[in-house]
A and B are shown apart, each in its own frame.
Chain A
C-alpha cells in the first residue's frame, strides 16, 4: 500500500497499480461468470466474488470506509437476500435450463453499450486526476463524512427521502398481498422480504431496504 507513483504514468506501473489491474481482471472474470454460468446459485456466489473484488479495489484506492460499506451492504445483505430468494424457489443443484430467457444477443448488446458509456464518462471525467497514495488518506471515514455532510448534504437527504419512499412502498405492497387471507402481522414481514428478493418481482426493494438501513445509520 505504501508504494505509490511518484511520477504518474502508464509506462512505469507501481505495485499498487499492478495489483489494481490484477484484482480488476479477477473481478471482471467473476462478473462474466456471474452472467454466463448456467447454475443459478453459482451465479449468486460468483457475484459475491465480484462484489468483494470491487471492495478490494476501493481499498487499493484508500477509500476504506466505502470498501467496508460495500462488503456490509452488498455481500452481507443483498447477496444473502438473493440466496434467500433462490432457496425459496428451490434452486436446483446442477444446471437450470428453464432459467434461460434466450435474450443473449440483446443482453450482450445492452451490456456492451452500458459499459462503453460508463468507461467513456469515467475516463473523460477523471483523465488527469491522480490519487496521491503517499499523503493523507483521502477515503477515511472522517474525509468521507466531511465531504458527504458539508458539500453533498442535499443529494444525501434527497436520496434518504427516495429510500424512505421505497421503504414505505415495500411495506404497502407486502400488506396488500397478505391483507385478505389472514391477519397475522409478523409473517407479513418475512414474506415481504422474500417477495422483494424474488428475481422476477421487485429486486429493487431488497437492496433499497438494506441501503435505507445504512442511510438511517449514517443519519
Chain B
C-alpha cells in the first residue's frame, strides 16, 4: 500500500511539474523577448509585471470555438494534439532531479526510453499536417518529417557518446558517474545534442516547419482554441524536457556545491539557464532555410557527433 502511495505521489508531482514549468518558460519568454527587443512585454494582467498573462491566454483559448475544417479527417485531426503533448509528460517521469532516487520512476534503459518517446511527439505534428486538408499544413508536415529524419540521428549519436562515457543507459546512473571534466570532454556532443534537440522541437532558428510568415504555422494552421493551445503547450514542455535532458546528460545534473542537500536546485538552475538560451536564440537568430537545415544536419552535426563518439571511445580505452 505504501509503495502504491509512493508511486501515485511521484506521478502527481511529475504532472504538476508538467503543467507548471512550461507556463513558467512561456512567461519568461514573453518577458525576455520583450526586454531584448527594447519593450516591456505583458504588464497589466494580474498586476505585477503581467504575471497572469498566460492564465488569461489560457482562459481565452478555452473560450474559443473548437473548429474542425469540413474536409479534414476528423478523428486524426482531433487526436493529433494529444499525440503531440503526451510523450513529453511520459519523458518527464524518467528525468532525475536530485540524488537518492529523486526521480519519477527509474527506467533501466532510461536514455533510450527518453529519446524514443520524444520521437513519438513529432507524429502529432505529422498527423495534424496531413489531417487538416490544407496545403500549408501538408507542407509543414512534410518539413517536420524531413527535419525529424535529419536531426534524430545526430541526437542519438551524441547521447550514445554520453552513455559510452558513463557505461550505463540509466539516467540517474549517468549523472552519478559524472565528473566535472566530462563537460569539456563531451562538449562537442553536448552542443550537437542541444542543437539537434532544438531542431526536433522546431524552435527558432530551426522553425522552418512552422514558419508563420511563409506557411502560416505549418501543421497548426487550421487549429483553434484548446487544441492549438495544446500544441503550444507541447512546444514549451518540449523546451523543459530538452533543457532538463541536456542538463542531466552533459552538465552533470545535480552536481555542484552542497549537492547532497540542494542537488535538485542545481538541476533546476541549469535547466533554467538552458531555457534562457533557447529563448535567446529565438530572439537573436534568423530562420534557417530548408536546404540549410538539411545541410547543417547531414554535413556538420553528424560528422561532429561521430567524431565525439570516436573521442569518447579513445579516452575511455586510454583511461580504463
Q: A residues near B, CB below 8 A?
A: 39, 41-42, 45, 48, 64-65, 68-69, 71-72, 75-77, 79-81, 83-84, 86-88, 90-91, 93-94, 137, 140-141, 186-187, 189-190, 193, 213-214, 216-218
Contacts and interface: CB of A to CB of B under 8 A. Distances in A.
A141 B117 CA distance: 17
B123 A48 contact: yes
16 contacts: A68-B116, A71-B120, A87-B138, A87-B141, A90-B138, A91-B130, A93-B71, A141-B109, A141-B169, A186-B294, A187-B294, A189-B294, A213-B153, A213-B157, A217-B157, A218-B160
Contacts of B129: 87
B299 to A, nearest CB: 7
B109 A84 contact: no
B148 interface: yes
Interface-central residue, A71, A75, A83, A187, by most chain B CB under 10 Å: A83
Contacts of A91: 130
Contacts of B141: 83, 87
Contact of A80 (B107, B123, B156, B295): B123
A69 B120 contact: no
Interface in B60-94: 71-73, 76
B207 interface: no
Main SS of chain B's interface residues? helix
Given A87-B141, A88-B142, A218-B160, 13 more contacts: A39-B73, A41-B130, A42-B76, A45-B76, A72-B112, A75-B119, A76-B152, A80-B148, A83-B123, A84-B145, A93-B71, A190-B146, A213-B153
Nearest to B118: A76
A205 B131 CA distance: 27
Contacts of A65: 108-109, 112, 169
A217 B313 CA distance: 12
A207 to B, nearest CB: 12
B149 A137 contact: no
Contacts of A88: 142
Interface-central residue, B76, B107, B126, by most chain A CB under 10 Å: B126
A88 B116 CA distance: 25
Nearest to A73: B116
A63 B272 CA distance: 35
A91 B73 CA distance: 12
B73 A93 contact: yes
Contacts of B298: 186, 189
Top 3 A-B pairs ranked by shortest CB distance? Answer: A76-B119, A72-B116, A84-B145
A84 B140 CA distance: 11
B145 A72 contact: no
Given A48-B123, A84-B142, A72 B109 contact: no
Interface residues of B, number: 40
Nearest to B299: A186
A68 B152 contact: no
Contacts of B211: none
B284 to A, nearest CB: 25
B196 interface: no
B54 interface: no
A148 B116 CA distance: 21
Contacts of B119: 71-72, 75-77, 80
Contacts of A189: 294, 298
Contact of B149 (A72, A193, A214, A216): A193
B239 interface: no
B122 interface: yes
A68 B109 contact: yes
A140 B108 contact: yes
A186 B295 contact: yes
B127 interface: yes
Interface-central residue, B108, B122, B149, B156, by most chain A CB under 10 Å: B149
B112 A87 contact: no
Nearest to B146: A190
A50 to B, nearest CB: 14
Nearest to A218: B160
Given A87-B142, A186-B299, A93 B109 contact: no
B120 A75 contact: yes
Contacts of B76: 41-42, 45
Contacts of A75: 116, 119-120, 123
A71 B122 CA distance: 13
Contacts of A217: 156-157, 160
A58 B142 CA distance: 31
A42 B127 CA distance: 10
A85 to B, nearest CB: 9
B115 interface: yes
A83 B126 contact: yes
Contacts of B294: 186-187, 189-190
A184 B136 CA distance: 26
B51 interface: no
